[in-house]
Structure 1
């Protein structure tokens, strides 16, 4: 538990009645007597009497275990029934802390509201009692603590993870509002996680009954970073205040900090009242749209819970059925399914979902295994534990792509694509998620054809990787764009780029932090990385084939000489963050024995095939454009919708399928 509010307004109230008794009826089932083996050892060891909690009415005793959390009025411990072995989270409220009538009334109100709630995503209320020293409230134990602990370990979560948690929060919140209850303190520390990674909403210390508008509460309560503007302005608040807090929770999980957080509480309140916050460009367009719709000054302008659940962020984005326990401390590997799985759930499960009891000889499994590619080297921006390998030998085998059955065969009909508009600063998960959807939709119903349809006569100008150097065994991956901007994705997850005129340096310590400097003003701490960047630029300029238009040169580099060791972390001097649009940067690269795949922050995906130097570039997204550079280096751009309707040549079809398999198997979102 985190501290609840700390700024509840005291108010006069009548003297509270005695604490209500526990529900009538038999208590929890008692355990059987110890078996012979336990009796031979003298029975279980006697608990420390100082850590025993005894119900004065029933005589039942509980062993008080580890501290789980503490707040302004209470401490929460793990507790075990000494007879049954049942485990609980017990909230212990000292009688001395609730000596004033309004303080005791607060505890009575919490018990009265919580004891009657029964919902999958609300912490279960078990029972309560009191003695001369404390009040004890026994609740469902959530062994993996809370979202606050996950956030502290992870700082930011992937969008599919956020959808997973928000769906459960919204389910519990809808139940509360239907029961006429406002939570009024939605925050990360009040969302508890069970052993099987299920979310439970808890801590009803500030909850209250929903009143008609003319009688609504005007008390300022909640947690500063999550409180709604109408609460601060004492305008009376309803369910819309909980929706606002939910938006702050969503923002915090996606961006790493609350939207209105400042070093000064008064400044935080000012920002909340003026709804002054920023939406990072790294968020997907649906995420930014949903946050903007929730964080609105007027409560009437905010969406309802049902409207939130119908938003594109939920309906067109992948949500995992469950998360691994490892996601409490590290980003999980999530393999998204087609967003149209609601229509074709059985088909998509058989094609993309692998079950534990599925036979290894099943043809679908054999096909999936045959899709795996070997010789993988992978580096992601902000992927701190990436282990780069020594580059492969310069001799490369010709790419061998065998025509197979369609990767994703589905019932005849129309599959809805994700429709997510891509802009600068997307995450790896969002890019992969949407590319997979688009490619599956394109290939699922593509008819057979011997040649490509007519290309676009005047395609939009395309920025693509014209040269690249893999030196990940020591420093990182360097590349040059067709715009002549040169960049390096370093092994430590940072990214640095040099503008085409070589006068501006762009530095990205993470995919959401963007800085720029003139070349002469780069901080000393970044000079080693700048030296490596300049060497990469010089090498590609002098040693790799020059590029003209879309006639692309050889992209393979030979062995480097020893270079200065790049910067690998450490404190940086304070610099001014850039407000101008950030050039697209490489988020992740994946290299197999046949091809190189690159994912960019503007949503572009480029696949270079070594043996014949053909290339595949997916870009645009509204609509999706497919650019294919053939063996003779001629480039043609097609609308993905045309390819889906008219088909394409075997060469292009093979490469589209290869890109799909590579994204699915090696770039989990």
Structure 2
């Protein structure tokens, strides 16, 4: 008899008995539906892939096995730059293994959670990639039927890769209409709900929902009730904000794609010809920092045949336009009710509420007996954290290095100066919150002393401090990056508390443990003294508990953050 432990067994060395290729199982990436996803490495070539692993014990019906077979059959027939690469599949006694392209920057879902509304150039960039991928699918007579942010993956170059073909279908003849009710509620087309038969047009509807979500910050038909969401979809009832939020051309394209009559929607080949694309800035690249902070586009020249950037989504820009200006009663912090300060207070209140919910369950009293893969959430792992810091505030200020190797100083006059990872671009925030962008070869004389101090901090940290975590590769488009900066920090007898402008809160304890809290992802990353990174959703901690060490860190963070917002 096979034991339950054996039935869920995923070996550390995975062998494709047909080809003889062996893979070493690496980091856990997450789970969804029946599958678990790991980083896997070809032991002979060193090539790294994403391994989608499906336990056979969960395939309890022939229908489920047929769906997996159809997914493999469709995905294996595809090859396009904007489709997740398919490199093979095999099985053993316990699991089915699908070898896929590794997308290191996760998906548009995580980007959306961290950023909410994006700028129009960013949306144009992501939709351009998406439409190219869907155009290829439709040419191959494939309907994806589950286009959504979570299925649009991003590689290290932030190129969109369409993935998860579990609901995809191939049309056998022109005019065929599929009848299966499938999809994700916030993105599902009305003809699927009404069971009238559907075809390529359902993907166009989903792209309209994706575009709306990226621009506005939430899906067009989202409600707290599935029944009401479906009712709104059937009535095609959604709200488009004024042109202060999105441009006229963006609103026009959304309306065209979200037509209740499928025949009235544009074909996928017509979308790139819309005014939204032809009259707006389409960036050639986006910086890695846009995963957490809105880029700047004032340095980007207009593409030939396009006018310069005239519109930038104000909702996406507001959080990065200005910094808080004056100190409050706390030590070395900034306040003042400008957009950044308001966003800071919202994030802190949200984080405190989430910590209260976790601590009420007394998580340290019930250390988890569930395997780590069941409790961690690598998709919520932070992209940016403080890897080094030095306090010289008795004379000059607080210096720190971010995980992408940028070096920054928060001076005692509440100005901030950051040196990009490319060691060329400078980002300066004045006391009144105004942003300035320079290069190391061209900056005003008034910054000369601060530049010397920044270089001093850089050398000191390089020579004397150990970095926490690996560096993020430098991107050629770093000149349009906006770096998260130190919003607030203070020391206690147990360590140092640091708050970044993107909402991240980091606490470094004197025992070398660290926590990184993200209110937007609802998650905490625990870094122990051996530099092991594990990220947990707060919901998971409530359900499964955690180590006493992590519980104590969370209690400390709650106490200190609560005092910041105390009247």
**TM-score when normalising by structure 2:** 0.54
CA distance in 2, matches of 1:69, 1:239: 30
Out of 275, 281, 304, the position equivalent to 1:312 is 275
1:292 aligned to 2:255?
yes
The alpha-carbon distance between structure 1 residues 179 and 667, as it changes in their structure 2 partners (threshold 3 A), is closer
Count how many residue pairs are aligned between Structure 1 and Structure 2.
334
1:328 match: 291
SS at match of 2:53: strand
Gaps of 5+ in 2: 1-8, 309-316, 328-333, 348-431, 437-478, 484-567
Superimposed CA distance per residue, residues 490-515 of structure 1 (whole angstroms, 9 cap, x where no aligned partner): 66257xxxxxxxxxxxxxx99xxxxx
**1:61–1:82 CA contact under 8 A, matched in 2:** yes
1:114 match: 75
2:325 match: 388
State the shift of 1:190 in Å: 0.8
State the shift of 1:475 in Å: 3.8
CA distance in 2, matches of 1:491, 1:389: 12
**1:68–1:145 CA contact under 8 A, matched in 2:** no
SS at match of 1:119: coil
1:257 match: 218
More helix by share: 2
CA distance in 1, matches of 2:190, 2:173: 19
The alpha-carbon distance between structure 1 residues 245 and 336, as it changes in their structure 2 partners (threshold 3 A), is farther
State the shift of 1:284 in Å: 1.3
2:177 match: 216
CA distance in 2, matches of 1:284, 1:107: 42
The alpha-carbon distance between structure 1 residues 590 and 49, as it changes in their structure 2 partners (threshold 3 A), is closer
Out of 304, 307, 311, the position equivalent to 1:342 is 304
**1:160–1:320 CA contact under 8 A, matched in 2:** yes
State the shift of 1:218 in Å: 0.9
CA distance in 1, matches of 2:237, 2:306: 42
CA distance in 2, matches of 1:86, 1:667: 32
**TM-score when normalising by structure 1:** 0.46
1:277 match: 238
CA distance in 1, matches of 2:235, 2:38: 40
- How large is the RMSD of aligned CA atoms in angstroms? 3.3
Superimposed CA distance per residue, residues 644-667 of structure 1 (whole angstroms, 9 cap, x where no aligned partner): xxxxxxxxxxxxxxxxxxxx9999
CA distance in 2, matches of 1:266, 1:191: 26
State the shift of 1:62 in Å: 1.1
Superimposed CA distance per residue, residues 565-617 of structure 1 (whole angstroms, 9 cap, x where no aligned partner): xxxxxxxxxxxxxxxxxxxxxxx99599xxxxxxxxxxxxxxxxxxxxxxxxx
**2:299–2:480 CA contact under 8 A, matched in 1:** no
The alpha-carbon distance between structure 1 residues 151 and 666, as it changes in their structure 2 partners (threshold 3 A), is closer
The alpha-carbon distance between structure 1 residues 126 and 591, as it changes in their structure 2 partners (threshold 3 A), is closer
Gaps of 5+ in 1: 1-47, 349-379, 391-472, 477-488, 495-508, 511-587, 593-663
CA distance in 2, matches of 1:389, 1:256: 30
Out of 75, 82, 107, the position equivalent to 1:146 is 107
SS at match of 1:177: helix
2:90 match: 129
The alpha-carbon distance between structure 1 residues 84 and 385, as it changes in their structure 2 partners (threshold 3 A), is farther
CA distance in 1, matches of 2:480, 2:65: 57
CA distance in 2, matches of 1:80, 1:111: 21
**1:53–1:63 CA contact under 8 A, matched in 2:** yes
Superimposed CA distance per residue, residues 428-457 of structure 1 (whole angstroms, 9 cap, x where no aligned partner): xxxxxxxxxxxxxxxxxxxxxxxxxxxxxx
Aligned ranges for residues 210-609 of structure 1 at < 5 Å?
A: 210-212=171-173, 215-281=176-242, 282-335=245-298, 337=300, 339=302, 341-343=303-305, 381-383=318-320, 386-388=323-325, 475=336, 489=338, 492-493=341-342
State the shift of 1:342 in Å: 2.3
1:61 aligned to 2:22?
yes
Answer with 1 or 2: which has the greater Rg: 1
CA distance in 2, matches of 1:665, 1:145: 21
SS at match of 1:259: coil
State the shift of 1:307 in Å: 2.1
2:498 match: none
